[in-house]
Amino acid sequence: MMPTPNGKIAIVTGGSRGLGRSTVLSLAERGVQSIFTYNSNREAAEEVVDTAQQMGIKVIAYQLNTGNVSDFDVFVTQVQAGLAELGAERFDYLVNNAGISHYKSIEETTEEEMDMLYNINFKGVFFLTQKLLPLLKDGGRIINISSGLTRFAFPARGLYASMKGALEVFTRYLAKELGERQITVNTVAPGAIQTDFGGGVVRDNLEVNRHIAGLTTLGRVGLPDDIGPMIASLLNDDNRWVNAQRIEVSGGMLI
């Protein structure tokens, strides 16, 4: 049975591949329409739009580099147009998923690399959320995507994990400030996932894949579809009392 639009609308950053793609399509399966962003791969974005359309759910893709704060006003205007196209003025859910990886030791990391990671993985999330808050309905939901690396540590992940740690603190403060609007804000922290993130090392390097699989209680590496449906479920009103939490989705990695 094909899903029927349920009147809910999500905005998902980085929705064309990996966890973002799984999130958009998992929401579509539940009748949620989405406006999602992609950085450069228009073909991948169009594939997501087409797949959702085949389900009977309309989703809209806009190009956005979430590290360029100066582009956010234009993006908000696009969102308003997209909402009008979907027959709405405001949206219900925000999933801050877009991000980049970094694999260098603290000694080797450059100031330019830190600035790039900061702009995309924290500053962009902070100010894009700020810009979109007037369009988010009272009683809405925000999910920020963090990482298992804020709990466990691996070599050459220090800068990336530090940015995600900042995002987790931001989540709690945002939940505190938005409580009067009955908006919940949570963090989802995936473990190692088989995607093209970070050059696809977990997906494509068999040795790395096997090593990480051995660190989980379930004996395998995670897949995007282990994460997207969980995010979609967390956005559901059944979870309205879950707020300001860090929820790790790692298959029991390093416990």
The angle formed by the CA atoms of residues 141, 142 and 143, to the nearest 5 degrees, is: 125
93 in Cβ contact with 139 (< 8 Å): no
Q: Which residues are catalytic?
A: 146-147, 160, 164
Per-residue confidence of the chain (255 residues) as pLDDT tens digits?
789 899 999 999 999 999 999 999 999 999 999 999 999 999 999 999 999 999 999 999 999 999 999 999 999 999 999 999 999 999 999 999 999 999 999 999 999 999 999 999 999 999 999 999 999 999 999 999 999 999 999 999 999 999 999 999 999 999 999 999 999 999 999 998 887 766 666 776 778 888 888 999 999 999 999 999 999 999 999 999 999 999 999 999 999
Side chain identity, residue 216: T
CATH number for the domain whose boundaries are 9-249: 3.40.50.720
Look at residue 206 in the predicted model and tell me its pLDDT.
Answer: 77
pTM to 2 decimals?
0.96
| Residue in 223, 214, 227 with CA at minimum distance from that of residue 195 | 223
Q: What's the rounded Cα separation, in Å, for the pair 131 and 13?
A: 14
Helix (H) or strand (E) holding 232: helix 224-235
Q: Which of helix, strand or coil describes residue 5?
A: coil
Give me the residues paired with residue 103 across strands.
none
- Amino acid, res. 250: S
The helix (run of H) or strand (run of E) holding residue 73 is helix 72-85
Q: Running DSSP on this structure, what letter comes out for residue 216?
A: B
Task: Kindly report the backbone phi and psi dihedral angles of residue 10, in degrees, each rounded to the nearest multiple of 5, phi listed first.
Answer: -115, 150
What token pair was written down for 12?
A: 């998902």
Backbone angles phi, psi at 245, to 5 degrees: -110, 150
Q: What is the pLDDT of residue 204?
A: 67
> What's the one-letter identity of residue 128?
L
CA 105, chain centre distance (Å) = 25
Q: What is the pLDDT of residue 193?
A: 87
Eight-state DSSP code of residue 96? E
